[in-house]
Each structure stands twice: as structure tokens, then as C-alpha cells.
Chain A
Amino acid sequence: MSAEPRREGLLHQLRHQIPLMAWLVLVWMLLWGTWSWANLISGSLLALAVTVLLPLPPVIGGTRVHPMGLLVYVSYFAMDLVRSAALVAWQTIRPQGIGNSAIIRVQLRTDSDLLLTIVAESLTLVPGSVVIDMDREQRTLSLHVLHVRDMADVEARRAAVLAEEERVVRAFGSPDEIAALAHPPGAAPAGTGRRTP
């Protein structure tokens, strides 16, 4: 009587853990560097042990990958990475050092944990901006940005953050979330396309 719901719970849990297990097996195979059945089986056993012993909360909703959006996102990301790495590298070696920096708050439009995580990660990976704080309820990101000379630069950086958000949502978002991009920041009704547990 008591065994049945627990088994269901375990199955349900395992279903959510399958992407994570696939990733763990992939990492294991890449670490060995060669394909063999022994690697696959030992990797699967290890992944099972890791996911059962150290369970993570499931990611609600998952992703929908749009190939065109993903291509745009990745190519912009690579361009940003190279351009801003060159800029920061130049600022470290030029005689006058770095200029002013600023801490800006940006109101985002998306309301999903996963998308916000991707936005924050990709903003922090690009040199010249670090996410300091995130207000999940208000959907605001606070970033420290390098190399701002005046308020026009600040506004340009804010627009760049919103553009990055738009590219991420167009690459990974659901139709609801893409539609929410049309609303100005802060005006989107709370709860649309919400994917938090």
C-alpha cells in the first residue's frame, strides 16, 4: 500500500532527471575519450547513482529550441565575446587605465527561471558586464558595467541587455514568452508564461 506511491514518485523523479543523466553519461564518455560499451554502462550506473544520491529539483517547463533563434543568439554571443574581450584587454594595457564604470538596473520582460538564468549567464560571460544581483519577483537584473563615459552610454548598455534578453527568448522561449517581448519592460502582466514552481 505504501510502496506504490513511492515507486510512482521515484519514476516521476527519474523522468525529470533523464536529461541530467544523459549529460552526466556524456561527460563520463568525453572524459574517457573513447567510445565503448563498458564506458557507456559504467557511466550510466554512475549517473544513476549521482542522480539518486544527490537529487536536484527538476527544471520546470524545459526548453524549446528554435534553430534560427539559436543561430542568431550564438553568433551575436561570439561577436560580443571577441569584441568586448578586445576592449577590456586594451583597457588593461593602455597607460591611462580603465575609465568609469556603473551599476545599472534593467527591467526584464521574461518570467521564467531557466531563461533568466541563461540571460544572466551569457551577460556575465561577455567581458565588461557582471550580474551583481537579481530580483526574481520584480524581474530586474543589476549589472556592473565597465567603460561608460556618460548617461548615453548607460542607456546604450541597458538597450544591449534588453537585446540580449530578446535573443535568448527567441532562441529558447515558448510562444507565450516570445509574445511577451512585445510588451514594454514592466508592463507585461505578471503571470503570463510563468514557469516557476
Chain B
Amino acid sequence: MSEIEGVRDVVAVGLLLAGSFLCLTAGLGLVRFHDVLTRMHAGTKPQVLGILLIMVGGAIRLEGWSATWMLLLVAVFQMLTAPVSAHMVSRVAYRRRHVRRDLLLVDELRTGEASDRLYRGDEPADAPPEDPARALVESRREDGDLPPG
């Protein structure tokens, strides 16, 4: 009986440690990655598996079904909500041009004549225009400093 309990404890501790390590890499990724899109990968993903492992470890270690059901709910809601928040933050970041384009191999979302070439006034102050020289000419034209065309 005690042997089984010993094995159970070892498995639980292993799962808890692996889960904690994955959550630690999520935090490390937030510091080390370059832009919002890659940071969202780190901030939301390793954590999903990490939380799952921690929940399984906790369910093994804690006795009683009541705690198990609660942990199951935590895991389910983590898996339901993490993708949605990652998607929303990434989408806003892309639209407001918080993207390191020099680190992108291809960008198939920006097709043809991009409409976000110029400043539109709603992007953050540190988002550069896609084409700085043209943006300057266009904004001067809008101010009436340059003849149109």
C-alpha cells in the first residue's frame, strides 16, 4: 500500500515540476522574445500544457473528488479561453503594426497595396510607417504644403 502511495507521489511531483518548468519558460519567453506576436506564443502556450500537467499532478496528490472536479474545470476553462485572448491580442497588435517585419520570413496577410502604408492616426506612437518617405510626402500633401499628384 505504501509502495503504491510512494509511486503516486513521485508521479505527482514529476508532473508538478514539469508543469512549473513550462510556466517558467512562458515567463522567460516574455522577456526574451522580440515583438508582441512572438511574445503571445510564449505568454499563452507553454502555459496551457503547464497548467494541464499541474492540474493532473494536483489531482493525483490531492485526495477527494471534489478537488479533482475543480481542477478539471480550471483546465477546461484554460483551454477554452487562452486561444481567444491570444488571438485578440495578436490581431490588435498586427493591425496596429507592432510587428518586427525584419524577423518575418513571409507575410501573406499583407496583400498587394497595403492600406496601412501611411499613418492613420490610430496606431501607437512607436509604430513606424511601412514606407516612411512616402508617408512624409503624403502627409505634406494633405497639409497643402505640396501640390497634389
Contacts and interface: CB of A to CB of B under 8 A. Distances in A.
B65 A132 contact: no
A151 B110 CA distance: 17
Nearest to A97: B32
A89 B22 contact: yes
A85 B70 contact: no
A148 B42 CA distance: 16
30 contacts: A31-B73, A33-B67, A33-B69, A84-B45, A85-B46, A88-B29, A88-B45, A89-B21, A92-B33, A98-B34, A101-B37, A101-B105, A103-B94, A103-B108, A103-B110, A121-B83, A124-B82, A124-B87, A125-B48, A126-B45, A127-B41, A130-B86, A131-B87, A132-B91, A133-B109, A142-B108, A144-B38, A144-B94, A146-B41, A150-B105
Contacts of A14: none
Contact of B29 (A29, A92, A103): A92
Nearest to A33: B66
Contacts of A82: 49
Nearest to A27: B73
Interface residues of B, number: 45
B83 to A, nearest CB: 3
Interface range on chain A: under 10, 10 to 19, 20 to 34, or 35 or more?
Answer: 35 or more
Contacts of A20: none
Interface string A96-124: 01101111110000000000000011001
A154 B41 contact: no
Contact of A132 (B25, B90, B106): B90
Interface of B: 21-22, 25-26, 28-29, 32-34, 37-38, 40-42, 44-46, 48-50, 65-67, 69-70, 72-73, 79-80, 82-84, 86-87, 90-91, 94, 103-110
A60 B110 CA distance: 32
A54 interface: no
Contact of A124 (B21, B32, B73, B83): B83
A53 interface: no
A30 B73 contact: yes
A102 B41 CA distance: 13
Nearest to B45: A127
A89 B73 contact: no
